[in-house]
Amino acid sequence: MISSKSSFSFLWRNDKILGRVLWASACLSTALLILIAMFLVKESWPVLTSIGITRFITDAGWYPLEKLFGLAPMLGATVIVSTLAVLIAAPLGIASAIFCSFIAPRRIAQAYRSLIALLAGIPSVAYGLWGLTVLVPLIGQFQPPGASLLAASLILSLMILPTIALTTDAAISTVPKSYLQGATALGLTREATIIKVILPAARASIGAGILLAAARALGETMAVLMVAGNVVQFPTSLFDPMRTLTANMALEMAYATGDHRASLFVSGLMLTAIVMALATLAWRLSGGRVHG
């Protein structure tokens, strides 16, 4: 028998050591989230204790220099703009995945897929720049000032569209072929097969993809800042300007000190809490098996 205690391979032979090393890096990765959460709490602690969390919801406006800390309109705006973006992008993304999987000839589908991948490659500042110079003036012609909920939702939906299209495409491709054969054998039309058989079968993964996209929309900063108008208010129409929590941080962080700065960290904390809720929801939806 070969000696099993060779010095060269002893590290690998001993899975315990390797296990510990890998475990440590997994801990590091997990600790990162805790570290970030702790840091957010620490930075926002001064205002959380001196002002209290309720005033961030109840204050009439956001004028931290005048000691008004109402984040509620921004919280609302963040949720509204992300929801709208998902509502615009999801049908488009799902339709485009259907196009890829069922309608387009193979070559066109491939070309179209790379087009979507390219769309995913456009950085958010570029979307912002385009939005600021093209989209906002365009909307402004009809309904000034142009920088608005609509502009922000449109830009965001363009940004998250590739995510939805690609994940839906992948989800559809995992639906067993036998479903399709079964449906065809039953004489179902193409429309019925897609709508009633394929999409419901891929529902969970599509949902997870959409939630992923929603998280991206919630967290997007620069592009929204450039096109949303940034007025702190509950948007009551599509053409109202509004400010998101991320834009709030980016706009004011560099200029903020003291309580103002700490209250911006409360924005971050709230946002992270929303994302946490979303991620947990996605996780529940997919029964704890989001990724392999």
Partner 1 sequence: MAEMAITRKNNSARDLGLMLVVWSATAIIIAAFTWIIGDFIIHGFERLSWSFLTTSPSNAGRSGGIAPILVSTLLILLIAITVALPIGVATAAFLSEFTRVGGRVRQITTLSLDILAGVPSIVFGLFGNAFFCIWLGLGFSILSGGLTLACMVLPILIRTTQAGLSSVPDEWRRGASALGLSRGAALTHILLPAATPAIAAGLMLGIGRAAAETAALIFTSGYVDRMPSSLDDSGRALAVHIYDLTMNVAGGDANAYASALVLISLLILINSVAVTLTNRYGSQRITAS
Partner 2 sequence: MKLEFVSYDECKRADSNIRQLAQPTHEVALAAKGITITYSGARALRDVTLSIARNEITALIGPSGCGKTSFLSSLNRMTDLIPGCKVTGHVYHDGINIHEPKTDVQELRCHIGMIFQKPNPFPLSIRRNLEMPLKEHGLTNAAQRYERIEHALTEVGLWSEVKDRLDQPALALSGGQQQRLCIARALALEPSILLMDEPCSALDPISSAVVEDLIIRLREKYTVVVVTHNLGQAKRIADSVALFWFQDGCGYLVEHTPTDAIFNAAQNAITKAYISGARG
Partner 3 sequence: MITMNVLRALGILMAGMSFANLATSAADDTKQPTLAGKLTITGSSTVAPLVAEIGKRFEQLHPGVRIDVQTGGSSRGIADARSGLADIGMASRDLKSDETDIKGHVIARDGIGMIVNAANPVQSLTDAHIIDIYLGKVTNWKDVGGSDMAISVVNKAEGRSTLELFAQHYKLKNSDIKASVIIGDNQQGIKTVSGNPGAIGYVSIGTAEFEAGQGTPIKLLPLGTVAATVENVQNASFPLSRSLTLVTKDEAKDLPKAFIDFARSKDVHDLVKEQFFVPLAE
Q: Which two structure tokens, joined as six digits, stand for 57?
A: 């919801």
Q: What amino acid occupies position 226?
A: M
Q: Sign of the CA dihedral 14, 16, 17, 23? A: positive
Min separation Cβ 199 and partner 1, Å: 11
Scan for tokens 């920088």, then name that residue.
147
| Ranges within 9-28 binding partner 2 (CB under 8 A) | 9, 12-13
Min separation Cβ 139 and partner 3, Å: 10
Q: Which of 201, 202, 205, 184 is nearest to 193 (CA)?
A: 184
Contact range with partner 3 by CB under 8 A, out of 80-88, 140-148, 209-217, 284-292: 140-148
Other beta carbons within 10 angstroms of residue 159's beta carbon come to 24
Residues 243-282, mask of contacts with partner 2 (x by CB under 8 A): ----------------------------------------
| CB 62 within 8 Å of CB 71 | yes
CB nearer to partner 3: pick between 6 and 236? 236
Choose the contact partner of 234 out of partner 1, partner 2, partner 3, none; CB within 5 to 8 A by kind: none
Q: What amino acid occupies position 206?
A: I
Min separation Cβ 204 and partner 1, Å: 15
Choose the contact partner of 66 out of partner 3, partner 1, partner 2, none; CB within 5 to 8 A by kind: partner 3
Q: Which of 120, 69, 116, 71 is nearest to 94 (CA)?
A: 116
Min separation Cβ 14 and partner 2, Å: 10
289 binding partner 2? (CB under 8 A) = no
Min separation Cβ 260 and partner 1, Å: 14
**Could you give the angle at which helices 245-252 and 258-285 cross, rounded to 10 degrees?**
150
Who's near 160: CB < 8 A, 6+ residues apart?
A: 85, 86, 89, 93, 213, 214, 216, 217
Contact range with partner 2 by CB under 8 A, out of 4-12, 76-84, 156-164, 248-256: 4-12
287 binding partner 2? (CB under 8 A) = no
51 binding partner 3? (CB under 8 A) = no
> Residue numbers of the site for partner 2 (CB under 8 A)?
1-6, 8-9, 12-13
